[in-house]
């Protein structure tokens, strides 16, 4: 399988790409020869540092540092919640609200299927702010802004309020509309660590996400 990498932003300090769905960010622990984003980038650039990750099935914008100094600064910015991530997701269901805050503690690897689960006693604090972007007959296009960075946070939170992502069979979604989890990292917003300019880096939808929306719109 080959992957086309679209560069969304690049300078001597930062690199942002539009990650294709199906490509893991880091090497697979069971198949180290399988393609992964970091290794593909290392073939084109001298060196890049990983700051955050996207699930294998999730498409969209992901940012890397190009120097050790920027890597340290970006890690601090992420930990301080100075980096804002915007996801778009197609969910199954029709919420009664237009905006909602999901505040449910999460515990990773919490059941036999290795899912992230709601755990009010032992889970870590997790907040996701969501709003409706577009409504369809049995699906909804949702914008999700996670304020914390727990594993599978958006997937687990939306499933917990009975809005599983289309294609996300692990969390109760159906694969009839799209053949992978319908989650796209749409944009990332933060202050450039060197120039201090405000950055808003957006990633266009991939073809399968576009096709799913066209089908829902009846086009």
pLDDT in tens, 142-168: 999 999 999 999 999 999 999 999 999
By C-alpha distance, which of 12, 19, 16 is closest to 180? 19
Q: Are 17 and 7 in contact (CB under 8 A)?
A: yes
In angstroms, rounded to a whole number, what is the distance separating the alpha carbons of residues 51 and 74? 7
CA–CA separation, 73 vs 195, rounded Å? 13
User: CB within 8 A of 79, min separation 6: which ones?
Assistant: none
Residue 55 falls in the annotated catalytic set: yes
Let me know: does 87 contact 185? Beta carbons within 8 Å: yes
Please give the DSSP secondary-structure letter assigned to residue 169: G
More reliable by pLDDT, 33 or 198: 198
The mean predicted confidence, pLDDT, of the chain is 94
Question: At the top level of CATH, which class does the domain 6-217 belong to?
Answer: alpha beta
112 alpha carbon, distance to own chain's centre: 24
Distance CA 133, CA 202 (A): 16
pLDDT band at 110 (very low <50, low <70, confident <90, very high): confident
Q: Which of 31, 46, 55, 119 is catalytic?
A: 55
Helix (H) or strand (E) holding 158: helix 153-160
Which burial class, exposed, middle or buried, applies to 129 when counting CB atoms under 10 A from its CB (0-12, 13-18, 19+)?
middle
Q: How many Å apart are CA 147 and CA 74, to the nearest integer? A: 16
Q: Where are the alpha helices (DSSP H) in 5-143?
A: 37-44, 68-79
Instruction: Map out the domains of the chain as residue ranges.
Output: 6-217
Q: How far apart are CA 47 and CA 200, in angstroms?
A: 23
pLDDT, residue 28, reads 75
Read off the pLDDT band of 38 (50, 70, 90): very high
């Amino acid at each position: 399988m080959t992957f086309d990498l679209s560069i969304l932003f690049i300078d001597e300090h930062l690199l942002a790409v539009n990650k294709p769905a199906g490509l893991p960010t880091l090497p697979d622990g069971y198949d180290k020869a399988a393609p992964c984003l970091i290794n593909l980038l290392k073939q084109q650039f001298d060196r890049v540092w990983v700051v955050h990750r996207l699930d294998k099935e999730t498409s969209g914008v992901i940012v890397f540092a190009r120097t050790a100094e920027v890597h340290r600064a970006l890690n601090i910015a992420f930990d301080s919640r100075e980096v804002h991530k915007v996801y778009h997701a197609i969910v199954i269901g029709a919420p009664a609200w237009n905006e909602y805050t999901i505040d449910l503690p999460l515990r990773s690897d919490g059941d036999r299927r290795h899912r992230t689960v709601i755990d009010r006693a032992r889970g870590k604090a997790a907040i996701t702010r969501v709003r409706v972007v577009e409504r369809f007959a049995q699906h909804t296009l949702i914008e999700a802004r996670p304020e914390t960075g727990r594993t599978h946070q958006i997937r687990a939170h939306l499933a917990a309020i009975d809005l599983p992502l289309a294609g996300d069979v692990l969390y109760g979604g159906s694969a009839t509309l799209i053949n992978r989890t319908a989650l796209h990292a749409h944009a990332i917003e933060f202050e450039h660590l060197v120039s201090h300019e405000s950055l808003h880096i957006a990633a266009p939808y991939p073809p399968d996400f576009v096709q799913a929306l066209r089908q829902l719109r009846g086009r």
